[in-house]
Amino acid sequence: DVKVTQSSRYLVKRTGEKVFLECVQDMDHENMFWYRQDPGLGLRLIYFSYDVKMKEKGDIPEGYSVSREKKERFSLILESASTNQTSMYLCASSGRSSEMNNEQFFGPGTRLTVL
Amino acid sequence: KQEVTQIPAALSVPEGENLVLNCSFTDSAIYNLQWFRQDPGKGLTSLLLIQSSQREQTSGRLNASLDKSSGRSTLYIAASQPGDSATYLCAADSWGKFQFGAGTQVVVTP
């Protein structure tokens, strides 16, 4: 059974803290994604990675950075957390973009609250 | 830029009725169209993926169709059950990036 796991289901941090969100997939997927989901705004892409050490900005990269040192692991970093980064963060992975059956799989999500 | 729209935003039906959920997209140059289900506070669960060369895909009570020329996909859920209550999202895969609709929130009443 395919699996995407995220390091925490719930996280509470203080303004200004550095926050790490970890995501691991066991499907040997090339592509990995970080989204945030907010009521009324839907899913918005923060960053994605199409290979180890490769990354591309999504629609809302400001205030975030990412790291992909190993194929199975993709980390989202909030350098200095702010209250407007309180959100549900979802990690996903998919196979190579040119593949016909390129299904995207999601982790359970991390509900981050910044106080 | 690809834009994906889902109408209606919310839908309530009595148990046993068939559900019809709509998804439209602006750029027909897609690899795939994927349907997801999301329960409150949870991640997204993949339901069906339709490749760009396919017209429809079926899994159990679920059937999804794709018409690339008109930029539309429809998800049919037969004989709805209270357990089908959730938010349903569609996503268009354009060059490896997935553009999501805002979702349709479905309530199936017993």
Q: Is the pLDDT of residue A104 over 80?
A: yes
What pLDDT does residue B33 have? 93
Q: Which residues of A touch B103 (CB under 8 A)?
A: 42
Test B96 with A31 for CB contact under 8 angstroms. yes
For chain B, where are the E strands, in sequence order? Answer: 4-7, 10-14, 19-25, 32-38, 44-51, 56-59, 62-67, 72-77, 86-94, 97-100, 104-109
Q: How confident is the model over A39-51, as a mean pLDDT?
A: 91
- Whether the predicted pLDDT of B95 surpasses 80: no
- B32 and A CB contact within 8 Å: yes
Dist CA A65 CA A67 (whole Å): 7
pLDDT of residue A100: 62
Tokens encoding B5: 């729209």
Quote the pLDDT of residue B30.
87
> Residue A92 in contact with residue B34, Cβ under 8 Å?
no
Q: First-to-last CA distance in chain B?
A: 41
Q: What is the pLDDT of residues B56-84, one digit of tens each?
A: 999 999 999 999 999 999 999 999 999 99
| The pair of three-digit structure tokens given for residue A35, joined into one six-digit string | 């989204």
**A102/B93 Cβ within 8 A:** yes
